Amino acid sequence: MQRRLECRISESLWRELQAEAERTGHSLSHIVQDKLAAAYDLDHHTIFQVSTSTAVSKGLFKGCATVGDLRAHGDFGLGTFEDLDGEMILLEGIAYQARDKGTVNVAPDGALTPFATVTGFTPEQALHLDRIESQNDLETQLDVRRPSENTFVGIRIDGVFERIELRAACKAAPGEDLVAATSHQSEFAFENIEGTLVGFWAPIYARTLTISGYHLHFISKDRSRGGHLIGITAQDLKAQLHLETDFHVAVPETRQFLEADLKDDPSADLAIAEHGHAEDR
Protein backbone atom coordinates (compact mmCIF):
# COMPACT_ATOMS: atom_id res chain seq x y z
CA MET A 1 0.00 0.00 0.00
CA GLN A 2 1.19 3.52 -0.79
CA ARG A 3 0.46 6.73 1.10
CA ARG A 4 0.16 10.22 -0.32
CA LEU A 5 2.40 12.83 1.32
CA GLU A 6 1.83 16.58 1.06
CA CYS A 7 4.21 19.01 2.73
CA ARG A 8 5.93 22.37 2.37
CA ILE A 9 9.66 22.54 1.60
CA SER A 10 12.13 25.37 1.17
CA GLU A 11 12.84 26.95 -2.21
CA SER A 12 16.42 25.65 -2.11
CA LEU A 13 15.27 22.05 -1.57
CA TRP A 14 12.75 22.43 -4.37
CA ARG A 15 15.45 23.59 -6.76
CA GLU A 16 17.68 20.66 -5.79
CA LEU A 17 14.86 18.18 -6.36
CA GLN A 18 14.07 19.66 -9.77
CA ALA A 19 17.74 19.64 -10.75
CA GLU A 20 18.08 15.95 -9.79
CA ALA A 21 14.91 15.06 -11.70
CA GLU A 22 16.30 16.75 -14.83
CA ARG A 23 19.70 15.12 -14.39
CA THR A 24 18.48 11.56 -13.74
CA GLY A 25 15.13 11.47 -15.55
CA HIS A 26 13.46 10.12 -12.39
CA SER A 27 10.13 11.44 -11.11
CA LEU A 28 10.00 13.68 -8.05
CA SER A 29 8.06 10.94 -6.24
CA HIS A 30 10.82 8.42 -6.96
CA ILE A 31 13.54 10.80 -5.78
CA VAL A 32 11.75 11.74 -2.55
CA GLN A 33 11.05 8.07 -1.73
CA ASP A 34 14.70 7.16 -2.30
CA LYS A 35 15.96 10.05 -0.13
CA LEU A 36 13.58 9.17 2.70
CA ALA A 37 14.47 5.48 2.45
CA ALA A 38 18.17 6.31 2.67
CA ALA A 39 17.59 8.60 5.66
CA TYR A 40 15.76 5.84 7.53
CA ASP A 41 18.13 3.08 6.32
CA LEU A 42 15.42 1.25 4.36
CA ASP A 43 16.24 -0.94 1.35
CA HIS A 44 13.62 0.67 -0.88
CA HIS A 45 13.75 -0.58 -4.50
CA THR A 46 16.38 -3.18 -3.56
CA ILE A 47 16.51 -6.82 -4.63
CA PHE A 48 18.46 -9.19 -2.40
CA GLN A 49 19.45 -12.48 -3.97
CA VAL A 50 21.18 -15.58 -2.66
CA SER A 51 23.65 -17.15 -5.14
CA THR A 52 23.30 -16.97 -8.95
CA SER A 53 21.28 -18.56 -11.72
CA THR A 54 24.45 -20.00 -13.24
CA ALA A 55 25.30 -21.76 -9.99
CA VAL A 56 21.83 -23.31 -9.80
CA SER A 57 21.96 -24.43 -13.43
CA LYS A 58 25.20 -26.28 -12.61
CA GLY A 59 23.54 -28.20 -9.78
CA LEU A 60 24.78 -26.21 -6.77
CA PHE A 61 21.73 -27.03 -4.67
CA LYS A 62 23.18 -27.03 -1.15
CA GLY A 63 21.72 -24.37 1.12
CA CYS A 64 23.86 -21.31 1.83
CA ALA A 65 21.30 -19.05 3.56
CA THR A 66 18.26 -19.53 5.77
CA VAL A 67 14.67 -18.40 5.36
CA GLY A 68 15.30 -16.19 8.40
CA ASP A 69 18.16 -14.51 6.52
CA LEU A 70 15.84 -13.83 3.59
CA ARG A 71 13.08 -12.37 5.74
CA ALA A 72 15.60 -9.88 7.14
CA HIS A 73 15.97 -8.50 3.59
CA GLY A 74 12.38 -8.47 2.35
CA ASP A 75 8.78 -9.61 2.69
CA PHE A 76 8.18 -10.72 -0.89
CA GLY A 77 9.93 -13.07 -3.28
CA LEU A 78 10.60 -16.59 -4.48
CA GLY A 79 13.24 -19.27 -4.73
CA THR A 80 13.81 -22.91 -3.88
CA PHE A 81 15.03 -25.01 -0.96
CA GLU A 82 18.10 -27.12 -0.29
CA ASP A 83 18.52 -29.96 -2.82
CA LEU A 84 15.82 -28.32 -4.96
CA ASP A 85 13.18 -29.55 -2.52
CA GLY A 86 10.16 -27.61 -3.73
CA GLU A 87 9.25 -24.03 -4.66
CA MET A 88 9.53 -21.06 -2.30
CA ILE A 89 6.92 -18.31 -2.14
CA LEU A 90 7.59 -15.39 0.23
CA LEU A 91 4.45 -13.30 0.61
CA GLU A 92 3.64 -10.68 3.24
CA GLY A 93 6.66 -11.76 5.26
CA ILE A 94 5.82 -15.49 5.45
CA ALA A 95 7.78 -18.11 3.50
CA TYR A 96 5.91 -21.09 2.06
CA GLN A 97 7.20 -24.34 0.56
CA ALA A 98 5.23 -25.90 -2.33
CA ARG A 99 5.99 -29.54 -3.02
CA ASP A 100 4.60 -32.49 -4.99
CA LYS A 101 1.08 -31.91 -6.37
CA GLY A 102 1.14 -28.35 -5.01
CA THR A 103 0.83 -29.08 -1.31
CA VAL A 104 2.07 -26.15 0.78
CA ASN A 105 3.51 -25.74 4.26
CA VAL A 106 5.02 -22.78 6.10
CA ALA A 107 8.82 -22.96 5.89
CA PRO A 108 10.64 -22.52 9.22
CA ASP A 109 13.24 -19.78 9.58
CA GLY A 110 15.96 -22.43 9.78
CA ALA A 111 15.14 -23.94 6.37
CA LEU A 112 18.04 -23.58 3.92
CA THR A 113 17.99 -22.19 0.38
CA PRO A 114 20.57 -22.40 -2.41
CA PHE A 115 18.86 -19.67 -4.47
CA ALA A 116 16.22 -17.06 -3.69
CA THR A 117 15.28 -13.50 -4.67
CA VAL A 118 13.47 -11.13 -2.30
CA THR A 119 12.51 -7.47 -1.91
CA GLY A 120 10.45 -5.18 0.28
CA PHE A 121 7.37 -4.92 -1.92
CA THR A 122 6.06 -1.35 -2.24
CA PRO A 123 4.12 -1.15 -5.53
CA GLU A 124 4.13 1.98 -7.66
CA GLN A 125 1.77 0.82 -10.40
CA ALA A 126 -1.63 -0.83 -10.14
CA LEU A 127 -3.08 -2.47 -13.26
CA HIS A 128 -6.26 -4.27 -14.23
CA LEU A 129 -5.80 -7.29 -16.48
CA ASP A 130 -9.16 -7.89 -18.12
CA ARG A 131 -8.58 -11.24 -19.83
CA ILE A 132 -5.61 -13.63 -19.86
CA GLU A 133 -5.62 -16.51 -22.36
CA SER A 134 -2.17 -17.99 -21.68
CA GLN A 135 1.09 -17.34 -19.89
CA ASN A 136 2.45 -15.78 -23.07
CA ASP A 137 -0.59 -13.48 -23.14
CA LEU A 138 0.01 -12.50 -19.51
CA GLU A 139 3.63 -11.65 -20.22
CA THR A 140 2.72 -9.65 -23.33
CA GLN A 141 0.22 -7.56 -21.36
CA LEU A 142 2.78 -6.92 -18.63
CA ASP A 143 5.45 -6.05 -21.20
CA VAL A 144 3.63 -2.92 -22.35
CA ARG A 145 3.35 -1.70 -18.74
CA ARG A 146 7.02 -2.09 -17.87
CA PRO A 147 8.90 1.23 -18.22
CA SER A 148 12.17 -0.20 -19.52
CA GLU A 149 13.96 -3.30 -20.77
CA ASN A 150 16.78 -2.50 -18.34
CA THR A 151 15.01 -2.25 -14.97
CA PHE A 152 14.12 -5.08 -12.60
CA VAL A 153 10.42 -5.29 -11.67
CA GLY A 154 8.68 -6.97 -8.72
CA ILE A 155 5.24 -8.32 -9.70
CA ARG A 156 2.21 -9.28 -7.63
CA ILE A 157 -1.02 -10.45 -9.30
CA ASP A 158 -4.20 -11.25 -7.33
CA GLY A 159 -7.52 -12.72 -8.39
CA VAL A 160 -9.47 -15.84 -9.28
CA PHE A 161 -7.73 -18.03 -11.85
CA GLU A 162 -9.95 -20.07 -14.17
CA ARG A 163 -7.09 -22.51 -14.68
CA ILE A 164 -3.54 -22.33 -13.42
CA GLU A 165 -0.85 -24.82 -14.39
CA LEU A 166 2.04 -25.25 -12.00
CA ARG A 167 5.05 -27.37 -11.27
CA ALA A 168 7.13 -28.09 -8.20
CA ALA A 169 10.72 -29.25 -8.30
CA CYS A 170 11.26 -32.59 -6.60
CA LYS A 171 14.29 -33.23 -4.45
CA ALA A 172 17.36 -33.64 -6.63
CA ALA A 173 19.53 -36.74 -6.55
CA PRO A 174 23.25 -36.30 -5.81
CA GLY A 175 25.14 -35.13 -8.89
CA GLU A 176 22.11 -33.96 -10.89
CA ASP A 177 22.22 -30.59 -12.63
CA LEU A 178 19.15 -28.37 -13.03
CA VAL A 179 17.89 -29.87 -16.30
CA ALA A 180 18.17 -33.42 -14.98
CA ALA A 181 16.58 -32.52 -11.65
CA THR A 182 13.59 -30.76 -13.20
CA SER A 183 13.01 -33.54 -15.74
CA HIS A 184 11.16 -35.45 -13.01
CA GLN A 185 9.37 -32.44 -11.51
CA SER A 186 5.75 -32.65 -10.43
CA GLU A 187 3.26 -30.88 -12.74
CA PHE A 188 -0.37 -30.21 -11.83
CA ALA A 189 -3.24 -27.77 -12.39
CA PHE A 190 -6.06 -26.15 -10.42
CA GLU A 191 -9.30 -24.60 -11.66
CA ASN A 192 -11.33 -21.68 -10.33
CA ILE A 193 -8.84 -21.01 -7.56
CA GLU A 194 -8.25 -17.67 -5.86
CA GLY A 195 -4.73 -16.67 -5.07
CA THR A 196 -1.63 -14.62 -5.78
CA LEU A 197 1.23 -14.71 -8.25
CA VAL A 198 4.55 -13.55 -6.79
CA GLY A 199 7.64 -12.86 -8.83
CA PHE A 200 9.98 -10.72 -10.88
CA TRP A 201 10.93 -9.64 -14.36
CA ALA A 202 14.69 -9.30 -14.92
CA PRO A 203 16.61 -7.87 -17.91
CA ILE A 204 18.45 -10.10 -20.36
CA TYR A 205 21.79 -8.56 -19.39
CA ALA A 206 21.42 -10.11 -15.90
CA ARG A 207 20.94 -13.68 -17.14
CA THR A 208 24.17 -15.06 -15.63
CA LEU A 209 23.16 -13.70 -12.22
CA THR A 210 19.42 -14.23 -12.08
CA ILE A 211 16.56 -15.69 -14.13
CA SER A 212 15.94 -13.23 -16.97
CA GLY A 213 12.43 -12.51 -18.17
CA TYR A 214 9.43 -13.45 -16.04
CA HIS A 215 9.68 -15.78 -13.05
CA LEU A 216 6.40 -16.26 -11.16
CA HIS A 217 5.21 -18.55 -8.36
CA PHE A 218 1.61 -19.00 -7.23
CA ILE A 219 0.01 -19.49 -3.83
CA SER A 220 -3.69 -19.91 -3.16
CA LYS A 221 -5.56 -17.49 -0.92
CA ASP A 222 -5.98 -20.17 1.76
CA ARG A 223 -2.22 -20.93 1.49
CA SER A 224 -2.85 -24.62 0.84
CA ARG A 225 -1.77 -24.88 -2.83
CA GLY A 226 1.11 -23.44 -4.80
CA GLY A 227 3.96 -23.86 -7.26
CA HIS A 228 5.91 -22.43 -10.18
CA LEU A 229 3.73 -20.95 -12.95
CA ILE A 230 3.78 -22.71 -16.34
CA GLY A 231 0.28 -21.94 -17.68
CA ILE A 232 -2.72 -19.69 -16.98
CA THR A 233 -6.19 -18.57 -18.07
CA ALA A 234 -8.00 -15.91 -16.05
CA GLN A 235 -9.90 -12.65 -16.11
CA ASP A 236 -10.29 -9.58 -13.89
CA LEU A 237 -6.89 -9.81 -12.25
CA LYS A 238 -5.29 -7.04 -10.21
CA ALA A 239 -1.59 -6.56 -10.90
CA GLN A 240 0.89 -4.43 -8.96
CA LEU A 241 4.41 -3.52 -10.11
CA HIS A 242 7.40 -2.48 -8.01
CA LEU A 243 10.44 -1.04 -9.82
CA GLU A 244 13.78 -2.27 -8.50
CA THR A 245 16.91 -0.14 -8.99
CA ASP A 246 19.42 -1.90 -6.71
CA PHE A 247 20.48 -5.54 -7.06
CA HIS A 248 22.49 -7.18 -4.28
CA VAL A 249 23.88 -10.72 -4.54
CA ALA A 250 25.04 -12.74 -1.54
CA VAL A 251 27.86 -14.88 -2.94
CA PRO A 252 28.00 -18.31 -1.22
CA GLU A 253 31.21 -19.14 0.63
CA THR A 254 30.76 -22.88 0.29
CA ARG A 255 33.60 -24.93 -1.17
CA GLN A 256 31.23 -26.23 -3.85
CA PHE A 257 30.53 -22.68 -5.08
CA LEU A 258 34.10 -21.42 -4.81
CA GLU A 259 35.45 -24.32 -6.87
CA ALA A 260 32.65 -24.45 -9.48
CA ASP A 261 33.15 -23.49 -13.14
CA LEU A 262 30.51 -20.78 -13.59
CA LYS A 263 31.68 -19.24 -16.87
CA ASP A 264 28.87 -20.63 -19.05
CA ASP A 265 25.70 -18.78 -20.04
CA PRO A 266 22.88 -20.69 -18.26
CA SER A 267 20.05 -19.38 -20.47
CA ALA A 268 19.35 -22.60 -22.39
CA ASP A 269 19.28 -24.79 -19.28
CA LEU A 270 17.14 -22.27 -17.39
CA ALA A 271 14.65 -22.08 -20.27
CA ILE A 272 14.13 -25.85 -20.11
CA ALA A 273 13.85 -25.87 -16.32
CA GLU A 274 11.67 -22.77 -15.99
CA HIS A 275 9.20 -23.43 -18.78
CA GLY A 276 8.36 -26.97 -17.83
CA HIS A 277 6.17 -28.83 -20.34
CA ALA A 278 3.40 -26.26 -20.69
CA GLU A 279 2.15 -26.20 -24.29
CA ASP A 280 1.00 -22.56 -24.27
CA ARG A 281 4.57 -21.31 -23.98
DSSP sequence for the chain: ----------HHHHHHHHHHHHHH---HHHHHHHHHHHHTT--TTEEEEES-HHHHHTT--S--EEHHHHHTT-SEEEEE-GGG-SEEEEETTEEEEE-GGGBEEEPPTT-EESSEEEE----SEEEEEEEE-SHHHHHHHHHTT-S-SSSEEEEEEEEEEEEEEEEEPPPPPTT--HHHHHTT-EEEEEEEEEEEEEEEEE-GGGTTTS--EEEEEEEETTSSBEEEEEEEEEEEEEEEEEEE-EEEEE----HHHHHS---S--HHHHHHHHHTT-TT-
What's residue 26's pLDDT?
A: 66
Residue 2, pLDDT above cutoff 60: no
Say how far apart CA 191 and CA 234 lie, in whole Å.
10
Confidence of residue 40 (pLDDT cuts 50, 70, 90): low
Q: Which residue has the higher pLDDT, 139 or 256?
A: 139
For residues 272 and 258, the model is more confident at 258
pLDDT above 70: residue 277 = no
> Which pLDDT tens digit goes with each residue over 177-232?
888 877 778 999 999 999 999 999 999 999 999 999 999 999 999 999 999 999 99
Residue pLDDT, tens place only, 133-186 = 999 999 999 999 998 999 999 999 999 999 999 999 888 888 788 888 777 789
Question: Which neighbouring-strand residues pair with 75?
Answer: none
Q: Among residues of the chain, what percentage have pLDDT more than 70?
A: 91
Please give the domain boundaries of the chain with CATH numbers for all domains. 11-39 (no CATH), 46-275 (3.30.1330.80)
In this predicted structure, the answer to whether residue 278 has a pLDDT above a threshold of 60 is no
Pairing of strands 125-132, 226-244: antiparallel
pLDDT band at 256 (very low <50, low <70, confident <90, very high): confident
Q: What is the mean pLDDT of residues 257-273?
A: 84
Q: According to the model, what pLDDT value does residue 66 have?
A: 96
User: Does the pLDDT at position 42 exceed 60?
Assistant: no
Q: Is the pLDDT higher at 198 or at 8? A: 198
Strand 46-50 and strand 104-106: the pairing is unpaired
Integer Cα distance of 71 and 64 in angstroms:
15
Q: Is 200 in contact with 154 (CB distance < 8 Å)?
A: yes
Query: Taking all residues of the chain, what is their mean pLDDT, rounded to a whole number?
Result: 89
- The predicted-structure confidence for 96-117, as pLDDT tens digits, reads as follows 999 999 999 999 999 999 999 9
Task: Report the predicted TM-score, pTM, of the whole model to 2 decimal places.
Answer: 0.82
pLDDT at 31 over 90: no
